[in-house]
Amino acid sequence: MKYLDEYRDRDTVLKLVDEIHKITKQKWTIMEMCGGQTHSIIRYGIDELIPDKIRLVHGPGCPVCVTPIEMIDKALEITAQPNVIFTSFGDMLRVPGSNGDLFSVKAKGGDVRIVYSPMDAVELAKNNPENDVVFFGVGFETTAPANAMSVVAAKSQELKNFSVLISHVLVPPAIEAILQSEKNEVQGFLAAGHVCTIMGYEEYVPLCETYKVPIVVTGFEPVDLLQGILMTIKQLESGQYKVDNQYTRSVSQQGNDPAQKVLQDVFRVVPRKWRGIGEIPMSGWTLTDKYTNFDAEKKFGVIHTTADEPADCISGDILMGHKRPNECSAFGTRCTPENPFGATMVSAEGACAAYYKYHRFQTELA
């Protein structure tokens, strides 16, 4: 398939693997920042092709995984209110809250609907004026422009019955939180190509300079990932630390200016809790005053809902790169996709789900 096969080409992969082996002299720990990258690494065995001296750990780049448990609880509270149509992408329905999930609400007759675009929710609000329609706006910078446009569309159509439950988070503050952790061992990052398609990569320059770590914007196919690893190792071995761009076919330094302008209009930066990690300063978005009437937390009075993370789940350590999924005592036994402790086992992009799907059950020593 054109534009795909060349990024899975066997000969190219083997050449990159050989070059990585040749230049790697020291032990290094690299974190990829996207759940899609994690799944490709595990699916194609990239972590098994590279030298043992390189340890790949998996960052908090899965939007479902980092949505805090209290946000799920807020969604459940909203669904319990009368005349509410709650809409979400399908991957959020099985994420456990304190007492249940959205799938259980739907199974019991609650009006929870899967949509494929936030504009589907806007259309539902337009066609169902007697109901309040809520869209669960989850994700990183990648999905934020579409969610922002749904709010703009609802305002332009004067829809009083549409609102958004927002759980948007930002990548650069998460990288900084990882680097500031006393347990941090990460020495280089593979940044998520699709996030940088929207935002560019200028935000990463101060992180490289302050913490003296290389950050390489990377795609999602085997060739992309191996090129990203190679570019990172070259910097580490030579003592460099700068932003580099492997994903040049999609990413520019400035990013998508029209999308950024919409985001600046609709959202403002706030502190956000991350599931298993806790609050990271100025790491998320909420609506600006201009669009505050579309804030579901305020509209339904759930803004102060809080919840504690389950003690048995080590997803926070996994998302911070301190541990890998098969270093968890519950992995594959007490915690499975059918009976998940946390979102990292539920999400299609979760690291635990990837290890389970591709049979990485051997327990490693922490």
pLDDT at 169 over 70: yes
Which residues share a beta bridge with 98?
none
**What class has domain 64-167+281-299?**
alpha beta
Integer angstrom CA distances of residue 316 from 95, 136, 236, 323, 330: 15, 22, 26, 9, 14
Q: Which of 40-44, 54-58, 99-103 has the lowest mean pLDDT?
A: 99-103
Least confident interval from 17-26, 124-133, 197-206, 308-317: 308-317
Distances (CA, A) of 87 to 78, 123, 161, 312: 11, 11, 13, 30
Question: With bands split at pLDDT 50, 70 and 90, how would you rate the model's confidence at 348?
Answer: confident
Token pair 């922002």: residue: 148
Question: What is the distance between the alpha carbons of residues 213 and 207, in angstroms, rounded to a whole number?
Answer: 8
pTM of this prediction?
0.93
What's the average model confidence in pLDDT over 263-283? 95
Closest to 203 in 3D by CA, of 283, 286, 137, 322: 283
Mean pLDDT across 308-328: 88
Residue carrying structure tokens 């609880």: 73
Which residues 6+ apart lie within 8 Å of 349 measured at CB? 34, 35, 36, 38, 39, 61, 62, 63, 64, 65, 91
For the stretch 224-270, pLDDT in tens is 999 999 999 999 999 999 999 999 999 999 999 999 999 999 999 99
DSSP secondary structure code for residue 300 in this structure: T
pLDDT tens by residue, 92-131: 998 888 889 999 999 999 999 999 999 999 999 999 999 9
- For 176-226, what is each residue's pLDDT tens digit? 999 999 999 999 999 999 999 999 999 999 999 999 999 999 999 999 999
Q: From start to end of the chain, where are the E strands?
A: 28-32, 54-58, 84-88, 112-114, 132-139, 162-169, 188-192, 215-218, 243-245, 267-274, 278-287
Q: Does residue 11 have a pLDDT over 50?
A: yes
CA distance 350 to 59: 10
Q: Average pLDDT of 41-64?
A: 95
Closest CA to 177 of 67, 271, 308, 55: 271
Strand, coil or helix: what is 182?
coil
d(CA 173, CA 204): 10
Q: Residue 303: what pLDDT?
A: 87
> Where do the structural domains in the chain lie, given as residue ranges?
64-167+281-299
**Is the model more confident about 346 or about 134?**
134
Predicted pLDDT of residue 364: 47
Counting Cα atoms < 13 Å in the Cβ hemisphere of 127 gives 7
What average pLDDT does the chain have?
94
Residue 366, pLDDT above cutoff 50: no
Distances (CA, A) of 77 to 148, 232, 294, 316: 23, 45, 17, 25
Residue 1, pLDDT > 70, answer: no
What does the buried/exposed string (b/e) look like for 286-297 if buried means 16 or more CB atoms within 10 Å of the residue's CB?
A: bbeeebeebbbb
Burial grade of 234 (CB within 10 A; 0-12, 13-18, 19 or more): middle
The neighbouring-strand residues paired with 304 are none
Task: Out of 18-27, 97-106, 110-119, 154-163, pick the least confident.
Answer: 97-106
The lowest-confidence range among 63-67, 88-92, 291-295, 337-341 is 337-341
Output the pLDDT for position 202: 97
Note the pLDDT of residue 365.
38
**pLDDT beyond 80 at 2:** no
Task: Indicate the DSSP class of residue 303.
Answer: T
Q: What is the pLDDT of residue 242?
A: 98
Residues in the chain: 366
CA-closest candidate to residue 118, choices 274, 296, 258, 290:
296
Q: What DSSP assignment string belongs to 314-328?
A: -HHHHHTTSS-GGGS
